[in-house]
Amino acid sequence: MFNNLELFLAPVKKIAELNKAQMEKAFTAQQEVAKEYIALTEARFKAAASIKDIDGLNAFVKDQAELAKSGFEKVVADSKAAFEDVKAYNEEVIKVAQESNKVVAKEVKTVAKTVAKKAA
């Protein structure tokens, strides 16, 4: 039916490439977050182990509160960045789908004209 199969399959390949890139990006981001949490946990264990007196405990608790606040802010910022990334991905997929529809519609018209000429 389609004269140029490669042209027809190009959008499928493009979406596969977009999916692969999106998955790689998400996996890399998750790896980085895991590394950060491991380092933070190790640092906090060392800080907790170094508490020697009430002043040290107070400093540790104060640091924990600051870390909680900055951690929450980081989660919010990371969530916004992830949302924007997914939004851009979705827009690209929609663009590819729309372009694909144009290609298929054009090809269908061409095939219909060929069939009509052969029928006449």
Average pLDDT score over the chain? 90
Rounded to an integer, the average pLDDT of 23-44 is: 95
pLDDT at 115: 82
Higher per-residue confidence, 114 vs 43: 43
Mean pLDDT calculated for residue range 56-82: 95
Rounded to a whole number, what is the distance in angstroms from the first to the last CA of the chain?
19
Looking at the predicted structure, is the pLDDT value of residue 2 above 70?
no
Cβ atoms < 10 Å from Cβ of 11: 20
Tokens of 98: 């729309």
Q: What are the C-alpha distances in Å from 42 to residues 21, 34, 36, 97, 110?
A: 32, 12, 10, 47, 66
Query: Smallest Cα–Cα separation from 64: which of 76, 51, 53, 52?
Result: 51
Closest CA relative to residue 37, chosen from 9, 75, 1, 2: 75
Q: What b-and-e string marks burial along 58-69, b requiring 16 or more CB atoms within 10 Å of the CB? A: eeeeeeeeeeee
